[in-house]
Amino acid sequence: MSRSTVLVALDRPSNGAVTRDQLDRICACLSDEGHAVAWADTAEDALALTQSRADLSAALVSWDLDTPETVLKALMGRFTKLPVFLVTTATSVDDLPLWVSEVVSGYVWLLEDTPAFIAGRIGVAAQRYLDGVLPPFFRELLRFEDTHEYSWHTPAHAGGVAFLKSPVGRAFFDYYGERLFRTDLSISVAELGSLFEHSGPIGEAERNAARIFGADLTYFVLHGDSTADRIACHASIAADELVLVDRNCHKAIYHGLTLTGGRPVYLVPTRNGYGLMGPIPPSVMAAEAVAAQIRRSPFTEGAAGAEPVYAVITNSTYDGLCYDAVRVAELLGASVPRLHLDEAWFAYARFNPLYARRYGMSVDADALTDDVRPTIFSTQSTHKLLAAMSQSSMVHVKNSPRSPVEHRQFNETFMMHATTSPMYPMIAGLDVAAAMMDGAGGRWLTDEAITEAIRFRQAVARLGARIREAGDRPGWFFGTWQPTEVTDPATGRLHAFADAPLELLRTVPGCWTLAPGAHWHGFEGMEDGYCLLDPIKVSITCPGVDARGNVSEMGIPARILTMYLEARGIVVEKTDAYTCLILFSMGITKGKWGTLLDALLDFKSLYDSEATVTDVLPGLVKAHPDRYRHLTLSGLCAQMHTQLSKSELTALLDEAFTHPTPAVLTPAQTYQRLIRGGTEPVRLADIAGRTVATQVVTTPPGIPVLMPGESTGDADGPVLRYLRALETFDREFPGFPSETHGVSRELAGSYWITCLR
């Protein structure tokens, strides 16, 4: 660790001159040993430093401080095994609470030892703590880099030296700094271990991550969760075996089916009036329903077996809906021996009790008996919502006796997808990301993200209420998607969400569960506790439609809001028709979400004051002057809202995604036709009844509306009506194009899709 800071929490003004002199000498000795000192004269200051300083390596806390217990508990809740020394003036420590004696590392009587001795005790403990903080691989990488060995192996930049021989290379080197290039090493460095053999420090790091995440086996994957998904599928599915597939799965799952030749049988989720994809109802996962779906599938005939071998479920969804994973495993365990939970956006779930039972590695022998429990794969995009570098991900395995993962066999698949030239800083990032969540740190980090997300949600709700009550301006404002009311289970008291106690909202899962029939979420077929809305995934709702699909006269399409936010330097994660998604990751701050809140208020002011599109979105007018230069912001919103309402886009989206068209060929069979030239582009207007050769993925919502090998259906069917509505929207509103993979566009705006001949 590059910095060491010792917290000294004592009330200096109340100490005598001799004591103050002794403290100054202790701090001077600590400084001489290379430790910075952070002073706190009050418990409030100590708590602020505990909250803001991650580089604390030890603490010296006075029992005479105001509320010292609060400071000690905060330190224990923020840091794992931080050495804390208690300063006391009492002659005995027998009267201290027992828990204090258990958590402190030692006691200091300021005037009974020399300053050098006291500082030495603290310094040794701080160094021991720092040595223990570093996880296995990162620790060895630092040690190796510190030896300053010459590089005679790949990569050819040789620790960055090659870049120094070129002007552009020098600019690149200076931008990133020497340390990155010195740690960009080759697999020839045997002492750092092997990603393929899972040996040495790399193997230690994976086993350490398995312990932290509660897995039996953990594998580091350096090509993102997409590759992690393909590895898990490829290691479990053989040609022509039946696979239960969440229709809300990432496209990487379908790539896995293409690689393996697996035959998908789809489990279709619900949708609500906003167009958000919901959970698969439990009734659809029941063994009888699965068996009926298999009987109806065109892929059952000729399959390698009558029973499915694998199931894949997205948990949580993009919009933050997470299942009771134990309940899902209980339901699907009756049909499959292996269950894959794609948790790309949910790697933090294990580390906060708000998510108990809602993540893959919670499905252990204590949760379900071995005769019911399937082996669980959890694939996590570590970089998305934990602190790792882009493309860094992990595969976690929780074995069941029914179908255990055998490491040597699984590793053959792993090696097919892994690289023989791994980037060591990425491995170190995974190692550190896991270590950050170990012990008290994981709870503290997740608590902070949850708390800030709730504060933002409540701030939006309160602002909306104040605007309506003021009556001096139009009464509309944006909202956030969540329950309108919550109940305190301890008292039975019902609270409006905006006024609910923060502690209740951040600790009680029932505040976030999708109660059956509740209007706020708009999903059908729920069980009590089955699905929970993750508070850190915040969907901002715009006027125009509600969760039941009721359309209002006035509307503000989210694409316009998103374009305005981007002009303000605020980039959202995803935009649907009337919602946009923002993520409260561990990097969130009050200043960050305060800026977003200010932008929402400014948008309202511009809308209400009839500001022109030229003033609000100058880039849009510059690109399409004839279309937008004469419009006001409210006029543009009205035109787009009318178009969305007239085309019934959200209703068509619901119907298209919940009523898939018939499958003709498997993804693998279709791919063989694709690479042998058996395809042709077809205009959307002429595509009825054709079989598509590639996925058609529309964003929003970012999920395939057509899979390779599926028929497009009838011309007046929901899928083609939905795609035609998107095509018409793109023509009507240039500059706001739908992001649709698998579709190419003419200059005139016509859609073309590749189909089988």
Residue 88 confidence (pLDDT): 82
Domains of the chain, residue spans: 4-133, 137-191, 193-437, 441-646, 648-756
Q: Which two tokens stand for residue 736?
A: 């706001």
Residue 15 confidence (pLDDT): 58
d(CA 361, CA 348) in angstroms, rounded, equals 12
Task: Tell how strand 393-398 and strand 479-480 pair up.
Answer: unpaired
In 355-501, alpha helices (H): 382-385, 407-417, 424-436, 440-470
Beta-bridged to residue 617, according to DSSP, are none
d(CA 346, CA 565) in angstroms, rounded, equals 26
Give 221-262 pLDDT, tens digit per residue.
Answer: 999 999 999 999 999 999 999 999 999 898 899 999 999 999
- Which CATH code of 3.40.718.10, 1.10.3720.10, 3.90.1150.10, 3.10.20.30 fits the domain covering 441-646? 3.90.1150.10
In this predicted structure, the answer to whether residue 136 has a pLDDT above a threshold of 70 is yes
Element at 683 (helix H, strand E): strand 679-683
Task: Tell how strand 479-480 and strand 537-541 pair up.
Answer: antiparallel
3-state secondary structure 299-331: CCCCCCCCCCCEEEEECCCCCCEEECHHHHHHH
| Ramachandran bin of 503, using left for φ above 0, alpha for ψ from -120 to 50, beta for the remaining angles | alpha
In this predicted structure, the answer to whether residue 124 has a pLDDT above a threshold of 80 is yes
In this predicted structure, the answer to whether residue 488 has a pLDDT above a threshold of 50 is yes
d(CA 665, CA 646) in angstroms, rounded, equals 35
Burial of 169 (0-12, 13-18, 19+ CB in 10 A): middle
d(CA 504, CA 511) in angstroms, rounded, equals 8
Looking from the CA of 520 toward its CB, the CA atoms found within 13 Å total: 18
pTM: 0.92
DSSP 711: B
d(CA 238, CA 524) in angstroms, rounded, equals 35
Element at 19 (helix H, strand E): helix 17-32
* Contact residues for 653 (Cβ-Cβ < 8 A; gap 6+): 271, 275, 577, 700, 701, 722
**Mean per-residue pLDDT for 342-357?**
97
In this predicted structure, the answer to whether residue 152 has a pLDDT above a threshold of 80 is no
Quote the crossing angle between the two packed helices 590-608 and 558-567, to the nearest 10°.
Answer: 120
- Residue pair 420/378 in contact by the 8 Å Cβ criterion: no
Q: Grade residue 13 by pLDDT with cuts at 50, 70 and 90.
A: low
d(CA 564, CA 570) in angstroms, rounded, equals 9
**Mean per-residue pLDDT for 646-663?**
86
**Mean per-residue pLDDT for 310-320?**
95
Residue 91 confidence (pLDDT): 59
d(CA 552, CA 561) in angstroms, rounded, equals 18
CATH superfamily of 4-133: Response regulator (3.40.50.2300)
Q: What are phi and psi of 74, to 5 degrees?
A: -65, -40
Q: Which fold has domain 193-437?
A: Aspartate Aminotransferase; domain 2 (3.40.640)
d(CA 589, CA 47) in angstroms, rounded, equals 17
- Which CATH code of 3.90.100.10, 1.10.287.1400, 1.10.443.10, 3.40.50.880 fits the domain covering 648-756? 3.90.100.10
Q: Which two tokens stand for residue 50?
A: 């505990």
**Out of 449-463, 592-606, 674-688, 692-706, which region has the weakest mean confidence (pLDDT)?**
692-706
Residue 1 confidence (pLDDT): 41
**Mean per-residue pLDDT for 659-678?**
92
In this predicted structure, the answer to whether residue 128 has a pLDDT above a threshold of 50 is yes
d(CA 565, CA 542) in angstroms, rounded, equals 14
Q: Grade residue 92 by pLDDT with cuts at 50, 70 and 90.
A: low
In this predicted structure, the answer to whether residue 46 has a pLDDT above a threshold of 90 is yes
- Residue pair 165/173 in contact by the 8 Å Cβ criterion: no
* Contact residues for 677 (Cβ-Cβ < 8 A; gap 6+): none
Q: For the chain, what percent of residues have pLDDT higher than 70?
A: 98
Alpha-carbon distances of 271 from 641, 652, 655, rounded to whole Å: 20, 11, 9
In this predicted structure, the answer to whether residue 700 has a pLDDT above a threshold of 70 is no
Average pLDDT, the chain: 93
d(CA 287, CA 334) in angstroms, rounded, equals 6
**What is the DSSP secondary-structure string of 593-615?**
HHHHHHHHHHHHHHHHTT-BHHH
* Greater pLDDT, 153 or 215: 215
Task: Check for a shared fold between 193-437 and 648-756.
Answer: no
Q: Grade residue 12 by pLDDT with cuts at 50, 70 and 90.
A: low
3-state secondary structure 193-239: CECCCCEHHHHHHHHHHHHHHCCCEEEEECCHHHHHHHHHHHCCCCC
